[in-house]
Amino acid sequence: MKKKAKIRIGIVGISGRMGKSIAIAIKKSPNVILTAGCEHKKHKDIGKDIGVVLGDKPIGELVTSNHKEFCKNIDVIIEFGLEKATKEYLAIAKKNKIAFISGSTALSKNILKDMQLASKHIAVFWAPNMSLGANLINLLSKFTTTKLGKDFDIDITDLHHKHKKDTPSGTAKFIQEEIQDSLKKIKVKKKVNISALRSGDSTGEHSIIFSGEGERVIIKHISSSRNIFAHGAVRVAAWLYKKRPGFYNMSDFLKI
């Protein structure tokens, strides 16, 4: 029987904490392989073997800042950077007909519009949080809103490490938007507040608090490692590669 070819993945920001976590997740997955990694032009790892940068054996592929070199041997691009990197590599993915995954947060409406346009030509996936658990609390919050939203106050708390640049987090804002949509469906006008804290080394805690007369319901997700986001992104990559051009999200992946 012919051996099934592995899906080739290129990581944007291969030397960063998230990039390295994704690389480790790829190594643990049997149906994907890491074949490219990029960094900005002045990064100290440019020209080094990706395996060595990751503290492992050489793999014969070098960290590059050259777009053509990066794209020559990949099926899917995974990017978790700031909006500038998202915009840059989305355009590169479109030009080279490569599926594109972004886990970037705090993206503007303009970049989301760019994703919609690019998705007419390639498969594009965006989720501000790649964790399966975090997406489950979003689903539970939407359901709870339909049942309690009329009589309960709704608040969201968002705790991340002190170095996180976007406040509130993309996940918190996404949950807020989804709850607001659920409130509209039950014809309730109510503000959903977000309280964001940036402290310590937390990789992410989100709580949705429904406060009523004499009772309170709390839906909470705690992340103890960024590996959950990396694992989710790699699973999505194996799934997205088979998809037709379109704009996909975690609801599509989980079939919620």
Amino acid at 198: R
21-56 in b/e burial notation, b at 16+ Cβ within 10 A?
Answer: bbbbbbeebeebbbbbbbbeeebebbebbbbebbee
Q: How far apart are CA 55 and CA 66, in angstroms?
A: 23
**What distance in Å separates the CA atoms of residue 66 and residue 223, rounded to the nearest whole number?**
34
Query: In the structure encoding, which two tokens stand for residue 85, read together?
Result: 């990197």
The gap from C-alpha 78 to its chain's centroid, in whole angstroms, comes to 9
Instruction: Round to whole Å and give the CA distance between 117 and 91.
Output: 10
Catalytic residue list: 160, 164
8 Å CB contact between 129 and 135 = yes
Q: In the 8-state DSSP scheme, what is residue 28?
A: H
- Left (φ > 0), alpha (ψ -120 to 50) or beta: where does 187 sit? left
